[in-house]
């Protein structure tokens, strides 16, 4: 699963399933032993959980990079490599 970004100990990844519908556009966020799945068409937690601070950081990052996330989602669904996205700093 390609890594899209990494910031403040949080790793953001997306699954690639070329030429197949893979649910709605979403990403997987990992922090230590926690994992959560977020939709980014409208920023929402779909499953899992992160500590509150990391949850808020991921939501803010998604808001800032929604267009880039959608572009990467499209690339992955076409079997292409996603572009890295700038981390929060």
Each residue's pLDDT expressed in tens, for the chain with a length of 89 residues: 899 999 999 999 998 776 666 678 999 999 999 999 999 988 999 999 999 999 999 999 999 999 999 999 999 888 899 999 999 98
Which string of DSSP letters, residue by residue, matches 3-33? EEEEETTEEEE----TTS--SSSEEEEEETT
- Give the integer Cα–Cα distance in Å for 38 and 42: 9
Q: What is the pTM of this model?
A: 0.91
């Amino acid at each position: 699963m390609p890594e899209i970004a990494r910031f403040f100990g949080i790793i953001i990844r997306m699954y690639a399933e070329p030429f197949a519908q893979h649910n709605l556009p979403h990403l997987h966020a990992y922090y230590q032993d926690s994992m959560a799945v977020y939709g980014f068409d409208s920023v929402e937690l779909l499953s899992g959980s992160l500590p509150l601070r990391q949850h808020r950081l991921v939501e803010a990052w998604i808001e800032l990079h929604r267009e880039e996330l959608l572009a990467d989602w499209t690339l992955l669904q076409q079997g292409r490599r996603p572009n890295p996205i700038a981390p929060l700093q």
